[in-house]
Structure 1
C-alpha cells in the first residue's frame, strides 16, 4: 500500500509537458516523429529517408510494394528506384489451367517502359498452357533495351513452351541474346531453342556465358552445343541430353583455352523402349575431360528401361552422381561398382526382387568417394546391408533406405540392424518408414533425391 501511495504522489507531482516538449520527445533518429509511449501510431512515414523506404520495399511482396507506391509521391519515387528492379520473376498463368495468379498486365507494361534496362536477373514462370508461353515470348520480344545477366524459362508443367512455334520462340530469344551482351546464366530446358539461336547467343555473349541448361531441347543438335563449347571458354556449368553428348564435345571442353568445367549434367531419357539406340562415349574422351577439369561433377539421370543400358559403363566412366528413375538390373549395378571409381552419390528407385548384397558391397569397396546412397523398390538382406555400411563407414553422410527394402535374416532383425548401422556410421540411424497409404511413386522418388542431395 505504501509503495502504491508513493507512485500516486509521483504522478500528481509530475509537471505536465508542453506541446513543444512533447514534440521534442517524439523526434527519432531518422527525423521521424515517434512517441515513446506510442511508437507505432505517431510515425511520420513520409519523412523516412530514401534508403529506409527502399529497404522496406525490398522486404515487401510485389503486390504490397505496388500498393505502397500509391501512399505518396515520395514512396512512388522509391518504387521506381533501379535497385528494386534488378531481379524480377514474371508469373504467367491461365485461370483455366492454374490456380496461381499472374503478374498484372499493367505492371508488366510499366516494367517494359521504365525498367527494361534495369533488369538483370529475370525468370519467366508459366503454367502448361500455350497462351502463357506465348505471353512470355511477347514480353521477351519487347526487352530491346536490356542488360540481363541471368535468364530462366520455367514451365511448371508440360507442354508450355514446346507448343509455341519455333520461329516465334527463336525470334523472342534472339532479342535478348542480341541486346543483353552480358548473359552469364541461361536456363531454357524444355523449349524449342535451336542451333541458329545458339549461334546468336555465342556471337554476342561468348565472353560472359558461364552456365547453360537446356535439357530436353529437341531442336538443338550436337553441332549447336559444340559451337557453344568451342567459343564460350568461360563456361563452367552445362546441362543437356545424352544424345547431344559426343567425344568431340568432351574434347572441346578439354581444350587448353577452356576453363575448368565445374558441373556437367546429362539426362539419359527414353520415352519408347527400343526406339533409341544409345551410343558409347570413348574412355579416351572421358579421360581427357577429367584431366582438364579434375574437380568436375558429372551427374547422370537415367530414365531408361532395363534392356536399354547396354551402352553404359562398359568401361571406366568418371560419373560422380547417378540417379536411376526406373528399374535397373543387377548386372548394371555390378558394372557401376567396377567402372565408376569417382562415384559420390547413388540413388536407385527400383530394381526388382533380387537381393543386391554383392553389388552394393562391391560399390562400397571400389567407389571410395561414395558419401550418399538411396534405395527405393529394391531388396537387400540385413547382413548384406550392414556389410555395405561397414565398408563405407563414417564417410556415408546421407543414407536413405525404405524399411521395406531390408530383408531380415537369421543373424539380424530390423531392431538390431539400426543399432549395427548406427555404430558403423558413428551416428543414430533408422530406416525410412513408408506410410501405408503411400505407394512408391513420384513423391517417394523426390524424397530420395532430396535426401541424397542430387535433386535440382
Structure 2
C-alpha cells in the first residue's frame, strides 16, 4: 500500500490479537505471507508461535505450478519458524521416477538437518507411504535417506512422543535401525505411539526375527501400537506385557493376504497380556484374509477385540463361504465387539439371517458398516430390532 498509515485507520487493523491469530490459523502459508503485508500489527501476528506448532509439507510427483509454489512456501516457513514446530507431517503424493526421489532425499536432508539443530519442541512426526521398496528409489538414494532419517530420530528421540512411518516398506534390518534410533541415547524409549503398518516389505516373516524382538523390548511406555500381523509372536506379546502393560491401550493389527500370517500364537500369551493390560483393546483389519480356518487361527477368544474389519477387496471364489465366520467365530466376541465392518462379494450366498443374529448377540456393538448383497427385508428387520432396543447400534452404513 502507498500510505502506510491508511491500514491503521481500518477496523481490520484493530482486531484483537486472539481474533487475528484465529484468522491467520485458517490461512495457508502463502496467504499468511500476503496477509502479513496488510499492516504492522498483522505482520507481528505472523510471528505468533501458536501458528507454527503444526506443519504439513506435501511433495507432489507431478506438481502443478501452484503445487510447486505451495511446497516452496511450506519448506521456507518450516525452516523460518522451526523453533515453534511440534507436529510435522510430510506427504508424498504419486512419486513416479528416480529424479523425484533423489530431489526428495536432498530436500529432506536439508530440512531434517535444520530441524535437528534449531528445533527443541518436536513431539510428533509423520512420513507415510515412502514405499522404499519401489524401483524409483535407487539404492544409494534410499540408503542416504534412511541414514538421514535415523540421524534425525536420534536427535529428537528424547522428546518424540508419536512416530508414523506407515507404508515405508523397508527391509528388516533397515526397519530395526530406524526404530533403534529412538532408543539409542538411553537404550530405551518412552514414546507412546508408533504406527509401523506396512513398515516392512511384503512377505517378511518379521515375527521370527530376534533382531525385531530385541528392538521392541526397548520401548517401555507404548500406549498405541499399529502394525501388521506378520510382526506378532508369543515373544512380542510377552515383551509388550513386560515393558508396556501399565500404559498399553490399543493394538491396531492389519493382516493382508500377502503378509505371512500362518504363525501359531498361544491363547495364553494373549490372555497374559490382557490380564496385565486391563485397558487394552485390539482392532483387527483383514484384507482378503477370509478363509475360516485362517481367521480361526488368528482370532483367538482370549483377545480383547473391540473392532473387526473384513474386506474382500473384490476377491471372489464360488467355493468360499462366510457363514461359519458369522455363526461360529465372531460370536465369541459378543460381549466386547463394538465395531464391525464387512466388505464381501457374497453374490452367491445370502447372509441375512446369520448377520442379523450376530448383530443381536453383540451386546456392545455400536458401529456397523456393510458392503455386501443384503435384502431390503434385512434392513427392515434390523431397524425394527433397533427401534425395539434389542441392539444398541448408533451407526449403520
Say whether the fold is shared (TM-score over 0.5). Answer: yes
- State the SS of the aligned residue for 2:340: strand
1:132-151 matches, within 5 Å, as 133-134=104-105, 137-138=108-109, 139-145=111-117, 146-147=119-120, 148-151=122-125
- Listed as ranges, the gaps of 5+ residues in structure 1 are 1-32, 35-39, 379-404, 430-449
Q: Which structure would you say has the larger Rg? A: 1
1:53-132 matches, within 5 Å, as 53-72=20-39, 75-95=42-62, 103-105=70-72, 108-112=75-79, 114-129=80-95, 131=100
2:218 to 231, 251, 266: 231
Distance 1:89 1:161 in 2: 24
- Greater CA deviation, 162-171 or 231-240? 162-171
Alpha-carbon distance, 1:417 to partner: 4.1
RMSD: 3.8
- State the SS of the aligned residue for 2:160: coil
Distance 2:292 2:107 in 1: 37
Query: Could you list the per-position Cα deviations for residues 389-427 of structure 1 after superposition, in whole angstroms to 9, with x for gaps in the alignment?
Result: xxxxxxxxxxxxxxxx0265xxxx97x647734532489
Alpha-carbon distance, 1:73 to partner: 5.2
Distance 1:373 1:101 in 2: 41
Distance 1:50 1:421 in 2: 53
Alpha-carbon distance, 1:129 to partner: 0.7
Match of 2:162 in 1: 185
Distance 2:175 2:64 in 1: 28
Change (3 A) 1:332 1:257: closer
Match of 1:267 in 2: 254
- Listed as ranges, the gaps of 5+ residues in structure 2 are 316-320
1:339-418 matches, within 5 Å, as 339-341=332-334, 342-350=336-344, 352=346, 353-356=348-351, 359-360=354-355, 363-364=358-359, 367-378=362-373, 405-406=374-375, 408=377, 417=381
Change (3 A) 1:365 1:43: closer
1:157-168 matches, within 5 Å, as 159=131, 163-164=136-137, 165-168=141-144
Match of 2:273 in 1: 289
Distance 1:315 1:52 in 2: 53
2:330 to 337, 350, 356: 337
TM-score, with structure 1 as normaliser: 0.67
Distance 1:99 1:196 in 2: 37
